[in-house]
């Protein structure tokens, strides 16, 4: 009798596992069916162009014949000895190293002010956020007028302080500083909103406990606010760094499709745009694009690795 029961229970267990496995595969099948449209769009417009671009980077590509001679990694080798690409890389790094921390520091300061119980706080928050939702082309077009050497508003205001007319759009020395000013204006509001959200997510009892221990405002900021704000800071750092290395539209609009006076505003994206769509060197341009991808990937990976040391989650 016991053997019969054991056999029967084993049969039930087997059938149960079989039904459970069948249910799992059924759910998985329908999950992929629902995801199929999204996967098709991503594959067509994201994955396939990435693969295609890498293939083109290995060729001396002829866009008219849609084919080319295979040259391996020759395009990559030539890029590292190309002074024009080296200058574009330096301009991009210079812009990223200055604009990223500068914007973050100003945004954090403004977010702390807006986190206080101030009147018209919502109005100020909206005012700071407006540049972010303004189209890049529209914002850059306004900057062309504001920083015009002859009739621009900026030079007019600087004249009250005894500063002569600055050739913002014509001076190689002022090209990257102008891009930095535009970057701070454009992306400041977005970072302010992110930092403000991070500040408002810090539980009040941490501040209350620190005050009981006798902490002053500076100590509260250093030992409570900054550590608990590190997840937001890390997120802002990553997206700002990636955005800084991808700078293109403002360069194109500010200098009417060129890379600035004497190529002083040449960035990596502008470099491979000109090589590809002006000179039709698509293999060379694709190689430059992949080098940019590798730079951003490595920097992001390093930041992700180092984040374990300084990012504190509650």
Query: Does 181 reside within a domain?
Result: yes
| Per-residue model confidence as pLDDT tens digits over 120-175 | 777 888 888 899 999 999 999 999 999 998 888 999 899 888 887 889 999 999 99
Q: Are residues 45 and 81 in the same domain?
A: no
Query: Does 261 reside within a domain?
Result: yes
Q: Are residues 53 and 93 in the same domain?
A: no
User: What does the alpha-carbon distance between residue 232 and residue 196 come to, in Å, rounded to a whole number?
Assistant: 10
Q: Are residues 280 and 240 in the same domain?
A: yes
pTM: predicted TM-score of the whole model, two decimal places: 0.85
User: What does the alpha-carbon distance between residue 226 and residue 310 come to, in Å, rounded to a whole number?
Assistant: 10
Secondary structure letter of residue 285 according to DSSP = H
Q: Which domain holds residue 123?
A: 75-310
User: What does the alpha-carbon distance between residue 219 and residue 13 come to, in Å, rounded to a whole number?
Assistant: 62
* Measured CA distances, 142 to 88, 99, 155 (Å): 25, 20, 14
User: What does the alpha-carbon distance between residue 53 and residue 272 come to, in Å, rounded to a whole number?
Assistant: 12
Joined together, the tokens standing for residue 14 give: 């087997």
Q: What band does 4 get if pLDDT is binned at 50, 70 and 90?
A: very low
Q: Are 244 and 99 in contact (CB under 8 A)?
A: yes
User: What does the alpha-carbon distance between residue 291 and residue 276 come to, in Å, rounded to a whole number?
Assistant: 15
Q: Taking 90 as the threshold, does the pLDDT of residue 14 lie above it? A: no
- Could you give the number of structural domains in the chain? 2
> What CATH number should be reported for the domain holding residue 102?
1.10.3720.10
For residue 314, what pLDDT is reported?
A: 66
For residue 301, what pLDDT is reported?
A: 94
Candidate from 54-68, 94-108, 129-143, 284-298 with smallest mean pLDDT: 54-68
Q: Are residues 53 and 89 in the same domain?
A: no
For residue 141, what pLDDT is reported?
A: 94
| Per-residue model confidence as pLDDT tens digits over 236-286 | 999 999 999 999 999 999 999 999 999 999 999 999 999 999 988 999 999
Q: What band does 34 get if pLDDT is binned at 50, 70 and 90?
A: confident
């Amino acid at each position: 009798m016991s053997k019969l029961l054991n056999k029967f229970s084993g049969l039930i267990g087997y059938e149960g596992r079989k039904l459970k496995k069948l249910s799992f595969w059924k759910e998985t099948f329908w999950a992929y069916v629902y995801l199929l449209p999204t996967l098709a769009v991503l594959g067509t417009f994201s994955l396939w162009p990435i693969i295609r671009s890498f293939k083109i980077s290995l060729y001396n590509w002829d866009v008219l014949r849609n084919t080319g001679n295979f040259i391996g990694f020759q395009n990559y080798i030539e890029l590292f000895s190309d002074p024009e690409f080296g200058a574009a890389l330096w301009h991009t790094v210079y812009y990223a190293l200055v604009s990223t921390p500068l914007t973050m520091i100003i945004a954090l300061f403004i977010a702390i002010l807006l986190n206080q119980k101030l009147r018209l706080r919502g109005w100020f928050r909206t005012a700071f956020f407006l540049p972010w939702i303004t189209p890049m082309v529209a914002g850059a077009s306004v900057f062309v007028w504001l920083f015009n050497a002859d009739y621009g508003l900026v030079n007019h205001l600087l004249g009250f302080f005894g500063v002569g007319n600055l050739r913002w759009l014509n001076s190689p020395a002022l090209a990257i500083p102008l891009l930095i000013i535009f970057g701070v204006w454009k992306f400041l509001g977005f970072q302010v909103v992110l930092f403000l959200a991070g500040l408002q997510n810090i539980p009040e009892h941490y501040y209350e406990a620190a005050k009981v221990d006798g902490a002053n405002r500076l100590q509260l900021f250093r030992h409570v606010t900054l550590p608990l704000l590190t997840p937001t800071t890390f997120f802002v750092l990553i997206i700002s760094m990636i955005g800084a290395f991808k700078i293109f539209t403002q360069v194109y609009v500010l200098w009417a499709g060129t890379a600035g006076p004497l190529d002083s505003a040449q960035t990596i994206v502008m470099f491979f745009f000109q090589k590809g769509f002006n000179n039709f060197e698509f293999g060379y341009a694709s190689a430059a694009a992949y080098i940019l991808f590798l730079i951003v990937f490595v920097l992001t990976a390093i930041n992700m690795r180092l984040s374990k040391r300084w990012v504190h989650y509650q």
